[in-house]
Amino acid sequence: MTPMHIVFLIVAAVTLFAAGMVVTTRPLMHSALWLILTLGGVAVLFAMLDASFFAVVQVLVYIGAIAILVIFAIMLTRHIAEDTSPQHNKGWWLPLVGMVVLFVGIVVGLSQWSGFETPLPVLPAEANNLVLFGQALTSPDSYVIPFEVASILLLAALMGAIYLGTEGKRGKK
């Protein structure tokens, strides 16, 4: 038991508890706040996996943008989403059983795999992942096409969201 093990166990327990609260609490606003805690826990795990860039992106994009969007959507649709009415479908136990079976299946299946207990390899000290990643994203030999496709996807999402968001105003003209 090194300190890293203890940190991992605490972070994983808090994150999974928060994720459980996201899918079970009745007031939707509480769900959204638990979601922020879950996303923060995932960001800590990214940092533990030496991907500090994605830890920062997780905080900026997920907590800073996506969680805030979700909270906005909850507040805009608040009158209908009464906190007292049931928030789960009638047959909610069926997915619960299915998910427990799926989880056990995944874990058992993975434990058969020989690489399951791979220990942590040491990263070469001189490697600067962030610089290499930036170069790879703009180099024609590596990932410039996926990078551009991602930017087109974002542009399309932007236009689609604006189109849907201004629907009422266009109808009045």
Partner 1 sequence: MSPTIPLSWYLVFAAALFCLGLFGMLARKNMVAILMGVELMLNAVNINLIAFWRYLYAPDLTGWAFVAIVFTAAAAETAVGLALIISIYRRRKIVVAEEANTLKG
Among candidate residues 96, 67, 85, the one with its CA nearest the CA of residue 27: 85
Beta carbon nearer to partner 1, 23 or 140: 23
Amino acid letter for position 62? Y
Shortest Cβ 13–partner 1 spacing (Å): 10
Give me the least distance between CB of 53 and partner 1, in Å please.
8
Question: Can you say how many angstroms the Cα of residue 108 is from the centroid of all Cα atoms in its chain?
Answer: 24
Q: Name the minimum Å distance from CB 41 to partner 1.
A: 9
Q: Calculate the CA dihedral of residues 6, 11, 12, 15 and round it to 10 degrees.
A: 160
Q: Which is nearer to partner 1, 84 or 111 (CB)?
A: 111
Are 142 and 136 in contact by the 8 Å Cβ rule? The answer is yes
